[in-house]
Amino acid sequence: MTLISQRNVASTDDAMIECESGVQVTEYLQLLRKWNAACSLVSHGDLQYLNERHVLDSMELLPFLKMSQSHLDIGSGGGFPGVLIAIARPKMRVLVNDRSRKKCRFLRHAKMQLKLENVEVLELDIKQDSELKEHFDTVTMRAVGSASQVWELGSQFLNESGTILMQTSQPVCESDLIGSTVRCVHKTDRGWVSVVGRDTESS
């Protein structure tokens, strides 16, 4: 496992510059605020802190997505981090998933309004339905469960060399994630990003 200091990873400001258009991020947040009352995309209290609690957290993942060609965001809700990743990485295929019809309707609207051709929206309860058979380079899940639950669910959608990007308050413990290897961890202002892949040596 490699511990990466904050200075060794692109700063959040650098990550923001990588976005194809900062205007798209602004438009996206405007859409989210407009739709939030009807769709409960984020908690009411979070509306004042979208940049601090959602946008910046999403942008912290960008340095770990440089080699990824396909990304799955499970339980995307209002689109964090999936939509932000799609804006910042326009050549990457991004599948955003949620079980809520209202939230998926918002995600489709955001895709159309922002002209995000690299985004696909999947309305499905992945925990209950095995309809999705694809495998991805990278997977994210925010506020879906514990690290072990995230690994158990998300690892089935990884390709052979794929990784799950886990955002947690503490670094994940490799021994808690059966069949995994923690490739690196990165300290952020609000917690940790742990990059977790399959343990190919034990498989």
- Residue pLDDT, tens place only, 92-104: 999 999 999 999 9
Residues 86/108, Cβ–Cβ less than 8 Å: no
User: How far apart (Å, rounded) are the C-alpha atoms in residues 110 and 26?
Assistant: 12
Confidence of residue 60 (pLDDT cuts 50, 70, 90): very high
Residues 141/172, Cβ–Cβ less than 8 Å: no
Confidence of residue 38 (pLDDT cuts 50, 70, 90): confident
pLDDT at 16 over 70: no
What is the pLDDT at residue 142?
A: 86
User: How far apart (Å, rounded) are the C-alpha atoms in residues 43 and 45?
Assistant: 5
User: How far apart (Å, rounded) are the C-alpha atoms in residues 140 and 165?
Assistant: 5
Residues 84/96, Cβ–Cβ less than 8 Å: no
pLDDT at 114 over 60: yes
* Secondary structure of the chain in HEC code, one letter for each residue: CEEECHHHCCCHHHHHHCCCCHHHHHHHHHHHHHHHHHHCCCCHHHHHHHHHHHHHHHHCCHHHHCCCCEEEEECCCCCCCHHHHHHHCCCCEEEEEECCHHHHHHHHHHHHHCCCCCEEEEECCCCCCCCCCCCEEEEEECCCCCHHHHHHHHHHHEEEEEEEEEEECCCCCHHHCCCEEEEEEEECCCCEEEEEEECCCCC
User: How far apart (Å, rounded) are the C-alpha atoms in residues 185 and 187?
Assistant: 7
pTM of the model: 0.88
The dotted CATH code for 2-125+134-198 is 3.40.50.150
